[in-house]
Amino acid sequence: MRKLLVFAAVLAVLGTLFLVAKPGARSTTAHPASAPTPASTTAVAPRAPAAWPRTPAPAMPAQLEPLFARLAAAGGDPEALEDASNDTYLALIAAFADPRVLAAVEEMLVGADPTTAEARVAVGALTGAGTPEAQAVMLRLLAARGGDVDFMRLLIPTMGFAVNPGRELEDALRTTAGNHDQASVRTVASLALGAVAAHVATSDPARAHKIVDEYRGKLSVASDLAAIDDSLEVLGNAGTAEVVQAVAPYLHDTRARVRADALEALRRIPTPEVESILLGALRDDAEADVRAAAAWALSYRQPTPATLSTQAAVLAAERSENVARTLLENLWGGLSSDRATVLAAVRSAADSHALPKVQELARSLLAGVPPG
C-alpha cells in the first residue's frame, strides 16, 4: 500500500528540490537546437545483472565544476547540503541553455553512483528543465543504465515529474513498465506513468485518458491484492476526474486493504463527491487502516471549515494512534482556515485525549501558541 510514496522518497532524497522548483520557478527555456543528439533515444528494458558493476567515479566534467562546487563544500551538514542542493538544482536548469553543460551532465550520469548528491541533483534538474533535450538525455540514460536497478529507482520516478513530458518519455515509461525484468522497476515506471497523466491532463487530455484507461483495464481484471494495489496507486497518481468511477467499486470491498487503497487513489480529486466519500470513511469505517487512509487522503486537500470540523470530531473519539496523529497534523495544517475550531480540537486533545502520545503531540503543536 502507498507505493506512491516511492515518489515522496525520491523527493526526500532530492532534498526539497521539487518544492523549490514550483511551476513559477522552473525554467522552461528551450535548449538550442544544436544540443548533442546521439543516434538513438529509444528506451530499452535490458535484464538487470545481479549487481551493477561499479567503477571508480569519473572525473567531473570541467563545465560542471563551478556548478557543483557549493554542493561539494556542503559536506555532511544537512542544512548546508539542502541549501546547496536547491541552489545547484536551479543553477543547472539555467545552465542547460548551453548544450555543452547538458552533454557534460549526461557524461557524468552515465557512470555516476546514484547515491551521490551530485547524481541526485543532476537527475532532478533534468526533470525540472522541461525541454525535449533534457528529456532525451533521460531516455538515453534509461537505455544505457536500464540494468542498474538503483539508478532506475532514482531516474524513473523523477521522470514522472518531468515538466511538459513528451510522448517519447511516456512511451519509454510504458515500455519499461511492461518489459523490465525487475518487478520493482516495472512498478516505479507504472507509477511514473500515472504522474505523467496528471501532468498532461489539461494540456493533452487524450494522453491522460489513455493512461488512465490502460490501468483501469488492468484494475478490472486484477484478482490478487498486489495487482489491485498497483493499479489503484497508478490511478491515484493520475488523479483525473474519471478515476472516481474506476475506483468506486473498490470503496466497499470486503478487504480493508483494498478500501484503503481506493480511498488513497482519490486524494487528488478536488470534488465535493470525493470529499464526502473521504469524510464518510473517516467517520464510519471500522478498520483503523482504512480510517488512516481517509485521513491521509484528506491531507492532500485544501482544508475547509466543514472538513476541519469533521476531523476534529473524529479525533476526539479516535483510538488508533496512527489515525489520531494524522488528524492532528491535518488540523494543524488548517489553522489559518478555521483557527477557533483547530485550536479547540488540539487543546482538547492535549488535555484529555485517551492516547498519551496524542496528548504529547498536541501539546508540542500548541507550544508556540500564546494561551487564551
Helix (H) or strand (E) segment spanning residue 144: helix 132-144
Q: Phi then psi for 163, rounded to 5 degrees? A: -70, 130
**How does pLDDT run across 256-305, given as a tens digit for each residue?**
999 999 999 999 999 999 999 999 999 999 999 999 999 999 999 999 99
Res 370: pLDDT = 72
Distances in Å between the Cα of 190 and the Cα atoms of 1, 4, 175, 241, 340 are 15, 10, 10, 19, 43
- Cell numbers 491531507 correspond to what residue? 299
Residue 10 pLDDT greater than 70, yes or no: no
**Residues with Cβ within 8 Å of residue 280, at least 6 apart in sequence:** none
Res 12: pLDDT = 43
- Positive or negative, the CA dihedral 18, 23, 26, 31 is positive
What is the chain's mean pLDDT, rounded?
84
Q: Which residues of 122-154 are buried (b: 16+ CB within 10 A; e: fewer)?
A: bbbbbbbbbbbbbbbbbbbbbbbbbbbbebbbb
Look at 27 and 326; give whichever has higher pLDDT. 326
Res 6: pLDDT = 37
User: Taking the CA of residue 212 as centre, how many other CA atoms within 13 Å lie in the half-sphere pointing to its CB?
Assistant: 25
Phi-psi region of 304 (alpha: psi -120 to 50; beta: other; left: phi over 0): beta
Q: How far is Cα 93 from Cα 131, in angstroms, rounded to an integer? A: 10
**How does pLDDT run across 99-156, given as a tens digit for each residue?**
999 999 999 999 999 999 999 999 999 999 989 999 999 999 999 999 999 999 999 9
Contact (Cβ atoms closer than 8 angstroms) between residue 346 and residue 365: yes
Cell for 336?
A: 489559518
Phi-psi region of 54 (alpha: psi -120 to 50; beta: other; left: phi over 0): beta
Return the SS3 of 252.
Answer: coil
DSSP state for residue 58 in the 8-state scheme: P
Res 33: pLDDT = 26
